[in-house]
Amino acid sequence: MKKIIVLIALMAMTVAQAQQGRKGDRGEKMKDVTPQEMATVQSKKLTLALDLSDQQEKEVFQVLFKQAEKREANKISREDREKLSDDQKKEARLKILDEKIAVKRKMKKILNNDQYAEWEKMMQQRAKKRGKGDKKRRNRD
């Protein structure tokens, strides 16, 4: 009986350790990525997923590059974010939403109807995945 309990505990610790390793990896890797690199990777992925033409790929790259530059310029450390007043936090959220709306409108002009519908679906799935992660983070705090 003791062997079974020890074995289960060992397996649980192994699984917990494996999950723990994944959390910080992405954040650390993404720190060193420039807006140019981020936009390049994203536009290449969209080119593959949506079968974009060369012209569309260039236009999508420009939109994503500008978005990445703005995101980089507006990046705030966690400590500074906690110091913001409620009004400043609301203003920052509205600014992010305005940027998302602008990107969405630009993408609608660049992509055809089928591509745009697929892009929308991809963005919804992405938001859904991030939403799950956000809930987990909120529960820990």
3-state SS record for 23-54? HHHHHHHHHCCCHHHHHHHHHHHHHHHHCCCH
pLDDT at 138 over 60: no
Q: How many CB atoms lie within 10 A of CB 107?
A: 20
As a whole-number percent, the residues of the chain with pLDDT over 70 amount to 79
Output the pTM of the full model.
0.68
- Report yes or no on 94 lying in a domain: yes
Range of the domain at 71: 34-140
Count other Cβ atoms within 10 Å, centred on residue 119.
Answer: 20
The count of structural domains within the chain is 1
Structure tokens at 65: 């590059």
Distance between CA atoms of residues 118 and 121, nearest Å: 5
Residue percentage of the chain with pLDDT more than 90: 41
Report d(CA 28, CA 2) in Å as an integer. Answer: 40
Residue 41's pLDDT band (cuts 50, 70, 90): very high
Whether 85 is in a domain gets the answer yes
Q: Is residue 19 part of a domain?
A: no
